[in-house]
Structure 1
Amino acid sequence: MTLDAIALHSINPWEVSFLREEVGGYFAHGVDLEPGSIVLDVGANVGVFSAAVYERLDGEVRIYAFEPLPPLHETLDRNGREFFGGRLTALPFGLADAEAELDFSYFPAATIFSSSTRDEGNVEAERRRVTAGIVEMIRAGGLGPALRRVPAPVLRGIVGRKLRVMRELETHRVRVRPLSPVLDEQGIDRIDLLKIDVEGAELAVLRGVEDRHWPLVRQAVVEVEGWERTHESVRDVFAARGFTVEAEQNPVQRAADIGMVFARR
């Protein structure tokens, strides 16, 4: 099966294509799954990563997908009901270090940038950061060879104009919860892969795992925003609990100030 086998419902079809390009990067540094795995997709959006896992394991998987923003959760839940054969549970809240309600900025035309850490005060800085990452991706050939020949200043102008949609935001009050009580409620007795992509709230998610639950986690992959500021702290969380940890940042990620942390038993 290929990732194109599931034609997911989406809010913006281009985002599904964009996220599909990223999926392979999660399965690196020895991270792998076997049939029968239990996977937590934290920051699921409409379920692209979940779909990749489902197809990779030919449907022999149990997925718990977390998405707190109502428009995204509605689409994720619909995808779960229609395409995952009862193997995906779409949970309508995010994860954090405490039970709370938070204001999330939601970008209808670019939902993948929605976050509790973005607001009207920093959205322009965030738009510049995202622009830099996309320009570097294009210059690396990520959107085909023709665009690689376009001068960088021109690319920045084009991408920057496209990302003006980030100025159009809605604020949603959403629920966040620590992971540990959710594991108890759902009866989850092991986690073969904990995938986290939460647009800057990575440490809060990890702090929501109580010591008694860390032995359940076999592997984790975390996309880290604010790389220079945060990635060592994320590494330390796993290293202190006996994981083998590797961090990776390619040139495209470096331009966007993000990177990946891989942790394995």
Structure 2
Amino acid sequence: MTMDTIDLHSINPWEVSFLREEVGAYFAHGVELAPGATVLDVGANIGVFSAAVYERLDGDVRIYAFEPLPPLHATLDRNGRDFFGGRLTALPYGLAAAEDELDFSYFPAATIFSSSWRDAGNVEAERRRVTASVVEMIRRGGLGAGLRRVPAPILRGIVGRKLRVMRELETHRVRVRPLSAVLDEQRIERVDLLKVDVEGAELDVLRGLEDRHWPLVRQAVVEVEGWRRHRDTVRDVFAARGFAVEAAQDPVQEAADIGMVFAVR
């Protein structure tokens, strides 16, 4: 199966292409999945990563996908019903250190940047950071080879203008829960892969996992925002619990000050 097998329902089709560019990066540094795996997709958006896992394992997988924003969850749930053969559970809340309600900024025209950590006060700085990342991705052949020939200053202008849509934001009050409560409630007895992509809230997600549940986690991949500031903290969370840990950052991620932490038993 290829990543194009499932033609997912989406809010903005361009985002599906963008997310598909990123999916392969999660399966590196020893992270592997076998048929019958249980996977937690934390920060699922509409389910692109979940689709990659489902296709990779020919549907022999159990996926729990977390998406707190109502418009995204509705699309994720529809994808789950239409394409995942009953193997995906779309959960309508996010994960955090404790049970709570948080204000999330939702960008209808660029949903992948929605976050509890972005608001009207920092959105311009965020737009510049995301622009730098997209420009670097294009320079390295992502999103179509034709764009590579456009001079960098012009490219930055084009991408920056496209991302002005980040100024259009809605605020949604959403529920967040600790992961341990969900593991108990769903009777999840092992986690073959914990994937976390939550736009800045990754440490909060990890703090919601109680000591009694850490042995259930076999592998994790966490996208870390504020890489220089938070990389070592996230790495230490896993190293202290007996994982072999790799921290990696490619040039596209470096431009956005993000990176990936891979943890394997």
Structure 1 and Structure 2 fold alike (TM over 0.5): yes
SS in 2 for 1:175: strand
Other structure's SS at 1:5 match? coil
Q: Which residue of 2 aligns with 1:181?
A: 181
Q: CA RMSD in A?
A: 0.6
How much does 1:152 deviate?
Answer: 1.1
Q: What is aligned with 1:96? A: 96
CA distance in 1 between partners of 2:143 and 2:110 (Å)? 18
The alignment status of 1:27 with 2:24, answered yes or no, reads no
SS in 1 for 2:135: helix
Residue in 2 aligned with 1:74?
74
1:258 is displaced (CA, Å) by: 0.6
Q: Which residue of 2 aligns with 1:130?
A: 130
Question: What is the TM-score when the length of structure 1 is the normalising length?
Answer: 0.99
**Alignment check: 8 A CA contact 2:193 2:221 kept:** yes
Please, what TM-score do these two structures have when normalized by structure 2?
Answer: 0.99
Q: Could you tell me how far apart the structure 1 residues matched to 2:162 and 2:79 are?
A: 28
Query: Are 2:5 and 1:13 equivalent residues in the alignment?
Result: no
How far residue 144 of structure 1 moved from its aligned partner, in angstroms, is 3.1
Equivalents in 2 of 1:211, 1:83: separation in Å?
Answer: 35
Q: How big is the shift at 1:124?
A: 0.1
Letter in 2 for 1:22: E
Matches of residues 157-196 of structure 1 in structure 2 within 5 Å?
157-196=157-196
Letter in 1 for 2:96: A
Q: Which residue of 2 aligns with 1:3?
A: 3
Number of equivalent positions: 265
SS of equivalent to 1:4 = coil
Q: Unaligned 5+ residue runs, structure 2? A: none
Q: Distance in 2 between matches of 1:143 and 1:79?
A: 24
Deviation of residue 150 (structure 1)? 1.5
- Whether 2:260 is the aligned partner of 1:260: answer yes
Q: Which residue of 2 aligns with 1:198?
A: 198
Pick which of 57-66 and 141-150 moved more. Answer: 141-150
TM superposition outliers: structure 1 runs of 4+ over 6 Å: none
Aligned residue type for 1:205: V
| 1:191 match: secondary structure | coil
Task: Give 1:146 shift.
Answer: 2.6
**Alignment match, 2:244:** 244
Residue correspondence of structure 1 range 27-46 to structure 2 within 5 A: 27-46=27-46
- 1:142 CA drift (Å): 1.2
Distance in 2, matches of 1:145 and 1:24, equals 18
